[in-house]
Amino acid sequence: MVTPRSRAAAGTSGTPHAVAESWRGGAEPPPFVLAAGPSDYWREHVVEAFRASGTASGAEFLRMEGDDLEAETLAGALESLSLFASSRRLWIREGAKIEKACEERLLAWAAAPVAGLSILLTTAREPSELKFLGSLAARATVVPCEERPGDAAKEAQRLAAAAGLKLPPGLLEAIAARAGSLLALRQELLKLAVLADGSGKIGPSALGAVAGGRVAASVERWAVAVLQRDVAAARTEAAALSAEGSASGSALWAIASIALGALEPQAYGFRRGPSAPSLRAGAARAALDAVYRADRAMKRGEIRDEEVLDVLERALEGGTSVRNA
């Protein structure tokens, strides 16, 4: 038997962060929540809290894709009862792309919600852009997902605290000011978290990877980290290089130049810079061999351009040869 549920007053809730914190603190989500707006970061934030709070309360969680949702499937989800949980949470992603029949069913359910089920519909579109979303907004609780002035500074403080980071004065503010978006901000702080020591501090050498408040890609730093077998630093630089679309040829040359500088610095004109690792002759020759094999594999089409950094890292760790990578 399906029990009707009193419908909460429709309207706009607080900020996405306030809503998420409320749910994580034990508050029950309204029967129907519409998280709408262009910020991927805030929509993800709301979804994570919706899922996590449901898990904490023992609710069954179900995800559906709006652009692939059929009316019959939706009807079953709205009308069924859970055999193993006292409540259910339904997340409908890409809610602006559902078919007409699904729209009608959701509007009808929002007008007369059923006890034991909470629905979260997310979309990058604004409620004012589509008739369905506008009608739904009048019956549901709306969480506006847009990035506002001041969000970056607040989230930078929260994310840094959550990661246990202890940054030099002014650095966090600079990162927040230049991140571009909250998703980019989160990525930058995750990179720094990889470089932090056990106390959350960033050492002087790791701070060299920060330019103008952002983690800047450097193929030279990547090569030094790989040859020193500094896995954390190498992965951080590799992620930054991949994000910038840096050419694999630069990575091959960076390794080769350090190796040649260790073997024949005067004969080939390679000078060992202050940051270059001190390589034994055997290690330098192994590095050159790895570069040769990677270059040959790439030219033969055996590995893709974007795989070169990973292949070189694994080869120089000594575990996997480039030929078999």
C-alpha–C-alpha distance, residues 102 and 79, integer Å: 14
C-alpha–C-alpha distance, residues 87 and 301, integer Å: 53
Q: Tell me, letter by letter, the H, E, C secondary structure of the chain.
A: CCCECCCCCCEECCCHHHHHHHHHCCCCCCCEEEEECCCHHHHHHHHHHHHHHHHHCCCEEEEEEHHHCCHHHHHHHHHCCCCCCCCEEEEEECHHHCCHHHHHHHHHHHHCCECCEEEEEEECCCHHHCHHHHHHHCCCEEEECCCCCCHHHHHHHHHHHHHCCECCCCHHHHHHHHCCCHHHHHHHHHHHHHHCCCCCECCHHHHCCEECCEECCCHHHHHHHHHCCCHHHHHHHHHHHHHHCCCHHHHHHHHHHHHHHHHCCCCCCCCCCCCCCCCCHHHHHHHHHHHHHHHHHHHCCCCCHHHHHHHHHHHHCCCCCCCCC
The whole-number pLDDT of residue 320 equals: 36
16 close to 145: Cβ distance less than 8 angstroms? yes
Q: Collect all residues with Cβ–Cβ distance below 8 Å to 281 and sequence separation of at least 6.
A: 262, 263
The whole-number pLDDT of residue 169 equals: 77
The whole-number pLDDT of residue 244 equals: 61
The whole-number pLDDT of residue 319 equals: 39
pTM over 0.85: no
Amino acid in the structure at residue 15 = T
C-alpha–C-alpha distance, residues 235 and 221, integer Å: 11
The whole-number pLDDT of residue 176 equals: 86
For the chain, the C-alpha Rg in angstroms (whole number) is: 26
Q: Which residues of the chain have pLDDT under 70?
A: 1-12, 82-83, 85, 203-217, 232, 236, 239-240, 242-248, 265-277, 318-325
Q: How do residues 129-164 score in pLDDT, each as one tens digit?
A: 999 999 999 999 999 999 999 999 999 999 999 999
Amino acid in the structure at residue 62 = L
Burial of 161 (0-12, 13-18, 19+ CB in 10 A): exposed
